[in-house]
């Protein structure tokens, strides 16, 4: 009798649980916990992320414990972005000169503090051997199963897998990573971009990549992010989407490129509305996978423009791009304030807003625990 009464409940909870597993049904415990906790956390606020935060800032490189954000707020970001471009060539440094050995340690530090790790991959064009920006037709098709460069692509994924698997926490557990391959795929500036392959080819590539990492290489610490650049509507966003069973996080990248804050706010708001709708319908985590207003020409941008956009939505995280500093050509590139930078005071207000989440906010959330 009791069994009979319990049965529908058990079946129901089994289904509910199965539905809420990430794309990798064999994901490690920490990865599944992260996935569930992030679903809840987005109702509380939006985690602030920063690319390469611990490696360098506008005026420093590789100073232990340093971070431009830390110098401004006394706190680290909640999300740490890293980049693997170059790993496929056995380079000891990525395309932005970050040594992979150091990156591994930074990833461990961020994770040990309870932070979230996300990784992008600006990888080599497999047809030409040149950079990710070396565009042209045929590169995606060339690495699909059965095609000429497929074996090469598999060898690259093996190197990625070895790096992922080498990321271990204090107890030897695999560090969960939000992996964001083929980013900005509706743009034409990367070889996997819209103009250079069909939707079907991109989808095949995405599915093969996840399947190979997961089933052949036994990497079970990844949440998969699907990510476009700016987009006009739902149909454009989903044109190259590989399918719900392959994706955990959905996002887009957006940069402000002129001084029209109102326009940026309107654009961001519109896209975030669409993203949230798509995410809610499909039970995915919505994220602003990259954003920035290069060199921050408006000292009040954080509270006048970005914060209002974030306040209107329940977005998991927003990742600011890297504080590269001064290039050899003398051009500056940075997206978060550093000590003494004009928007630092305003950023502090943004930091104090209850709906922006930084390291201290999420350490006690214990995102990797049940």
Q: Which of residues 308-327 bind ligand BMA (CB under 6 A)?
A: 321-322, 324
Name the minimum Å distance from CB 324 to ligand BMA.
5
Residues of span 171-200 touching ligand BMA by CB under 6 A? none
Per-position x/- string for 78-97, each x denoting binding to ligand BMA as judged by CB under 6 A, each - no binding: -----x-----------xx-
Per-residue contact track with ligand BMA, 106 to 145, x per CB under 6 A? ----------------x-----------------------
Q: Where are the alpha helices (DSSP H) in the chain?
A: 2-19, 29-41, 68-73, 100-112, 139-143, 150-165, 199-211, 234-238, 261-282, 301, 307-311, 344-352, 359-363
Q: Alpha-carbon distance 288 to 318, whole Å?
A: 4
Min dist. Cβ of residue 160 to ligand BMA (A): 16
Query: Which is nearest to 238 in space by CA: 191, 214, 206, 215?
Result: 206
Half-sphere exposure of residue 19: CA atoms within 13 angstroms, side-chain side: 10
Catalytic residues: 184, 290
8 A C-beta contact, residue 296 and residue 267: no
Q: Which is nearer to ligand BMA, 68 or 83 (CB)?
A: 83
d(CA 42, CA 310): 11
| Residue number with CB closer to ligand BMA (99 or 169) | 99
Regarding 247 and contact with ligand BMA (CB under 6 A), the answer is: no
Please, what is the minimum distance in Å from the beta carbon of residue 370 to ligand BMA? 34
Residues touching ligand BMA, count (CB under 6 A): 8
Nearer to ligand BMA, 36 or 122 (CB): 122
User: Cβ closer to ligand BMA: 42 or 322?
Assistant: 322
Distance CA 270, CA 267 (A): 5
How many of the other CB atoms lie within 10 Å of CB of 35? 22
Judged by CB, which is closer to ligand BMA: 96, or 173? Answer: 96
Contact 312, 266 (CB under 8 A): no
Which positions lie near ligand BMA, rule CB under 6 A? 83, 95-96, 122, 321-322, 324, 333
């Amino acid at each position: 009798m009791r069994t009979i009464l319990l049965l529908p409940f058990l079946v129901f909870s089994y289904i509910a649980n199965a539905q809420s597993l990430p794309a990798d049904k064999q994901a490690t415990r920490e990865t599944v916990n992260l996935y569930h906790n992030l679903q809840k956390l987005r109702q509380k606020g939006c985690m602030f992320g920063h690319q390469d935060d611990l490696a360098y800032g506008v005026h420093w490189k590789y100073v232990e414990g340093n971070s431009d954000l830390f110098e401004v707020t006394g706190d680290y970001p909640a999300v740490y972005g890293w980049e693997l471009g170059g790993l496929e060539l056995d380079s000891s440094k990525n395309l932005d000169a970050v040594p992979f050995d150091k990156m591994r340690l930074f990833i461990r530090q961020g994770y040990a503090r309870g932070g979230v790790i996300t990784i992008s991959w600006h990888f080599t064009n497999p047809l030409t051997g040149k950079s990710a920006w070396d565009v042209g037709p045929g590169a995606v098709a060339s690495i699909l199963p059965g095609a000429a460069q497929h074996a090469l692509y598999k060898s690259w994924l093996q190197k990625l897998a070895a790096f992922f698997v080498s990321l271990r926490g204090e107890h030897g557990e695999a560090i969960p990573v939000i992996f964001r391959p083929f980013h900005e795929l509706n743009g034409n500036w990367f070889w996997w971009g819209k103009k250079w392959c069909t939707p079907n080819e991109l989808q095949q590539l995405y599915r093969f990549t996840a399947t190979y990492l997961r089933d052949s290489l036994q990497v079970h610490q990844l949440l998969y992010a699907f990510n476009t650049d700016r987009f006009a509507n739902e149909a454009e966003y989903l044109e190259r989407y590989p399918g719900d069973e392959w994706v955990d996080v959905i996002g887009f990248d957006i940069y402000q490129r002129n001084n029209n804050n109102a326009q940026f706010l309107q654009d961001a708001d519109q896209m975030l509305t669409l993203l949230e709708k798509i995410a809610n319908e499909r039970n995915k985590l919505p994220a602003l996978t990259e954003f920035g207003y290069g060199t921050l020409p408006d000292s009040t941008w954080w509270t006048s423009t970005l914060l209002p956009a974030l306040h209107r939505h329940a977005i998991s995280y927003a990742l600011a791009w890297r504080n590269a500093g001064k290039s050899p050509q003398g051009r500056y590139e940075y997206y978060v304030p550093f000590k003494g930078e004009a928007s630092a005071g305003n950023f502090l207000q943004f930091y104090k807003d209850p709906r922006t989440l930084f390291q201290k906010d999420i350490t006690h959330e214990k995102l990797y625990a049940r």
